[in-house]
Amino acid sequence: MKNYIKNLLKASLVMLAVVAAFAFTTPFNPQDRIFAFDRDAEEWVEITGLQVGVHYDCDPDPEICSAQLVNNDPLMGEPIPDTESFGVYSPLVP
């Protein structure tokens, strides 16, 4: 009976660890897209998967260069706080 209680206690601790691992992690949402504000076109353009310095640059400026947008909606253009990078977006020609 003692072994049964010890095994039950061990199993419950393992289950608690598994639940905690899933509860305190945030998985990457593939629907989270990144947009940059193109001043020339005056619109948000999608840059998900592109790299700074390879595909585009954000020249120093206090304006928002890129950000994730609320509901991934470039027409509303409302950046999600703490996802912005600042500068002036300029695409690089390969």
Q: Give the pLDDT of residue 25.
A: 65
Give the separation between CA 77 and CA 60, rounded to whole angstroms.
21
The candidate with the shortest Cα–Cα distance to 49, out of 65, 37, 69, 34, is 34
CB 76 within 8 A of CB 70: yes
Backbone angles phi, psi at 9, to 5 degrees: -65, -45
| Positions of the chain with pLDDT under 50 | none
Q: Give the pLDDT of residue 93.
A: 76
The candidate with the shortest Cα–Cα distance to 36, out of 92, 88, 1, is 88
